[in-house]
Amino acid sequence: MTNTLLMDRRRLLQGAGYISLAFSIPAIDALAQAPAGDKPRLPGDLNSVRKIGAWIQINADKTVTLLIGKVELGQGILTAVAQICADELDIDWKQLKVVSGDTALVPNEGVTAGSFSMPNCGPAVRQASAEARKIMLDLAAEKLKVPADKLTVKDGLVSAPGAGSVSYWDLAVGQALEREATGAVKPKAAKDYRYVGKDVPRLDIPAKMLGEEIFVHELRPKGMLYGQVTRPPTYKAKLASLDSSAVEKMPGVVKVVRSGSFLGVIAEREEQANAAAQALFNAAKWDVEKGLPGNDGMPDWLTTTKPARIIETKKQPRAGGDPAVKTMEATYYRPYHMHASIGTSAAVATMGADGVMTIQTHSQSVFETAEAIAKMLGLEVSKVRCQHVQGSGCYGHNMADDAAADAALLAAAMPGKPIRLQYTREGEHRWEPYGSAMVMKAKAGLDKDGNVLDWDLHLWSTPHGTRPNKNPGNLLSARYLEKPFAIPTPQNNGGPNFAADRNAIALYDFPGHNVLTHFITEMPLRVSSTRGLGAYANVFAIESFIDELAVAAGVDPVQYRLRFMKDERARDVIVKAAELFGWDKWKKREGRGRGIGFAKYKNIAGYCAVALEVEVNKRNGRIRVLRAAAAADSGHIVSPDGVRNQIEGGLIQSLSWTLKEEVKFDDTGVTSQDWASYPILTFNEVPSIEVALIDRPGAPFLGTGEASQGPTGAALANAAFDAVGVRFRRLPLTPDRVKAGLGA
């Protein structure tokens, strides 16, 4: 690392109040990555950013700064990794500061997504902290003239029997942590942890409860102006002509920005910017295309459109044996889903005098988004700095990246002025990248006892991943510029269990097991990652179908699942959820039903089983979820409360998807543009929820944030069937759809 870069990062950290200039600053990203060779593989993200000092800073004010590339989305990741760090370093919880998601300061850990924060960031922080502690002990041993194995540490104070003590703050000078991790230092045993496995106060909650300005929506830097964009009427519409003179004279309007079909406005006040943006739309003349299939025609569109790829996600033909005596088939459908963040996406961007574009954003992919914006603006990557600031909550690719890009486009047109942009509700509802619609067709060949001999699942899906990924073509406005950026062809890489086919491989043990993915790159509506990607739909189909097979065989649904399940940890969560629910003691009542669903997220992450009790009103078709019981195995649990929150939150969101949510659109564009046309679950519709956690001390950390979506949707559909004897396979289970199924 050059002296210039080192000093730049020193100034940034000092200016942010994180560390003293007395200590050296670590290289980050490529500068800290290990070259190819025979170096040992290090845990998690430490393998790519190997400098200990890139993660840990010991400060002159008797604190430690933990630097991470993952960001807080409400999932509690900052608290969890802080627990790990404090334990491994033997410091008091209050001595720790956490900096995350600032591309100028922290290690590049890629996107915060896919339930990979704990599996990738957690082990990296644990190993880096353990090695930092070892360095401090070695320095203390040298200073105190005592072997390191005779030393003890408490709250950063290293003590030797009869030989005095010395603190981390006295030891950490110069290049102490400026070395690569070795992987040779063994982290603590689970029994020795002080914070891990305990419920500790969430780092982000006090400021939220006290109303401090920690959300990007609340930022109001000095001299700030307000920006807003004007979207075309449809996806493929082109701007034919525009006379903006009247808009430029509107009260408070500072500037109208146009590039190709991209239109934006900068004003002194937010309401002025919004009014001017609407006036721009009214003044513009657009060439509009039609041709969308509409939401009612979407299932047929999926199964009749030629896929770009047909992927053999799993190919396991049955080897010999008797032919099946019975075959069952079923088709399931998931519509487009919005992220539907209650607060719309926002960002603040400033083009500085030094030519650096600084953006405050709630993006989950600050590094990739920064690079995509740099390319869109024609800047060097080093000239775009993204700083993560919490948003209103989103698991998946909503419009946070687009807001960052739009704010940057407007800020580039007015250097030196912070530009704040927040979308309108209609703007976000109509233009965000939705979760893909999917069709799943399941087929099973059975023996005389109802055992599965041959299991086949075919799925049809458009993409689930169009995050910026360093490519401006994935930023909405970049497509409409005078020199537009082409939308890159979406991929379904990383499978199986990556995107469309996530969780399409059932964890059950069947003699014959085949999964075929029909991957369609054409996108009638803009789509990208929503919580769980294809897992929600695939688990809904698999767990609904396994229930249908159990009913046909006359076998209890829990016992039928266990019949084909060899994974002991999977069996444990299924049994635990059933016990917590009171499955064996449950009494049938008119109009009420019970259902269960299970999945191991991506077949590599957290295990989760959910059991629900529902009541179906046959007169009006409304389904009311009365109670929920869930069991989860997330490996070694760092924050029990955090895991429960994730399971509960995912369960509630899945209930909303399953009961209510469906993006409506016609042949030109999206018609769901408010909460009336896209309703979500309300507070009084949330059932009581119990969560049982199965802790595995010493086992790997498993991702939890997306574990409960699929099991919940399936459990609800299975419970509805149990209540009224009608199988509902098309989501959502709205009152009209339920009444139609009942023939009411």
Residue 663 near residue 678, CB atoms below 8 Å:
yes
pLDDT tops 90 at residue 74: no
With a cut of 90, say whether residue 172 has pLDDT above it.
no
- Give the list of residues 6+ apart from residue 678 with CB closer than 8 angstroms, or none: 338, 340, 429, 661, 662, 663, 664, 672
Confidence of residue 556 (pLDDT cuts 50, 70, 90): very high
Give the model's confidence band at 495: pLDDT under 50 very low, under 70 low, under 90 confident, else very high. low
- With 0-12 / 13-18 / 19 or more C-beta atoms within 10 angstroms meaning exposed / middle / buried, residue 33 is middle
The confidence band for 296, taking pLDDT boundaries of 50, 70 and 90, is: very high
Q: Report, as an integer, the average pLDDT of 148-163.
A: 92
Q: How confident is the model at residue 1 (pLDDT cuts 50, 70, 90)?
A: very low
CATH of 3-209, one of 3.40.980.10, 3.30.365.10, 3.30.420.10, 3.30.465.10: 3.30.365.10
At 608 the pLDDT is: 98
CB atoms within 10 A of CB 40: 11
Give the tens place of pLDDT for each residue, 693-710: 999 999 999 989 999 999
Please tell me the predicted confidence (pLDDT) of residue 174. Answer: 64
Domains 3-209 and 438-464+499-742 share a fold: yes
Length of the chain, in residues: 744
pLDDT at residue 65, as a whole number: 96
Q: What is the pLDDT of residue 165?
A: 94
- 62 band by pLDDT with thresholds 50, 70 and 90: very high
pLDDT above 90 as % of the chain: 86
pLDDT at 333 over 90: yes
Residue 389 has pLDDT above 90, yes or no: yes
Is the pLDDT at 734 greater than 70? The verdict is yes
Using only the alpha carbons of the chain, give its radius of gyration: 27
Residue 732 Ramachandran class (φ > 0 left, ψ -120 to 50 alpha, else beta): beta
d(CA 397, CA 502): 17
Q: Is the pLDDT of residue 328 over 60?
A: yes
pLDDT mean over 587-609: 96
Most confident of 22-26, 453-457, 490-494: 453-457
Residue 275 binned pLDDT confidence (cut-offs 50, 70, 90): very high
Mean pLDDT value of segment 497-519: 95
Q: Average pLDDT in the 432-459 region? A: 98
Q: What pLDDT, in 10s, does the model give residues 126-140?
A: 999 999 999 999 999
CA distances from 203 to 30, 78, 118, 394 (A): 30, 7, 16, 19
Could you tell me where the DSSP H helices lie in 332-365? none
Strand partners, 512: 454
The neighbouring-strand residues paired with 264 are 229, 257
Range ranked top by mean pLDDT from 32-36, 201-205, 227-231: 227-231
**Residues forming a β-bridge with 225:** 419
Q: Which residues on adjacent β-strands are paired with residue 601? A: none
Q: Coil, strand or helix: which one is 548?
A: helix
179: exposed, middle or buried (Cβ count in 10 Å: 0-12, 13-18, 19+): middle
| Residues 577, 609: Cα–Cα separation, whole Å | 6
Map tokens 């999964």 to a residue: 515
**pLDDT exceeds cutoff 90 at 394:** no
Q: Of 127, 106, 83, nearest to 19 (Cα)?
A: 106
In the predicted model, is pLDDT for residue 381 greater than 70? yes
Question: Would you kindly state where each structural domain of the chain is located, as residue ranges?
Answer: 3-209, 216-288+345-423, 438-464+499-742
Per-residue pLDDT averaged across 621-630, rounded?
98
Q: Is 699 exposed, middle or buried (0-12, 13-18, 19+ CB in 10 A)?
A: middle
Q: Cα(624)–Cα(509) distance, rounded to whole angstroms? A: 34
Closest by alpha carbon to 728, among 649, 648, 614? 614
Q: How confident is the model at residue 11 (pLDDT cuts 50, 70, 90)?
A: very low
What mean pLDDT is reported for the chain?
92
Neighbouring CB atoms inside 10 A of 674's CB total 11
16-54 confidence digits (pLDDT tens): 433 322 222 223 333 334 444 678 999 999 999 999 999
Segment (H or E) for 239: strand 238-241
Q: What is the pLDDT of residue 392?
A: 85
- Looking at residue 564, its pLDDT comes to 98
**Which string of DSSP letters, residue by residue, matches 88-112?**
HHT--GGGEEEEESBTTTS-----S
Nearest to 524 by CA among 184, 295, 362: 295
Token pair recorded at residue 462: 């458009």
Q: What is the model's pLDDT at position 438?
A: 98
pLDDT at 513 exceeding the cut of 60? yes
Give the type of residue at 349: A
DSSP labels, 680-694: ---GGGPPEEEEEE-
Contact present, 267 and 256 (Cβ < 8 Å):
no
How many CA atoms are closer than 13 Å to the CA of 603, on its beta-carbon side?
17
DSSP code of residue 120: I
The answer to whether residue 386 scores a pLDDT higher than 70 is yes
In CATH, what is the architecture of 216-288+345-423?
A: 2-Layer Sandwich (3.30)
Class of the 438-464+499-742 domain?
alpha beta
- Is residue 632 within 8 A of residue 570, CB to CB? The reply is no
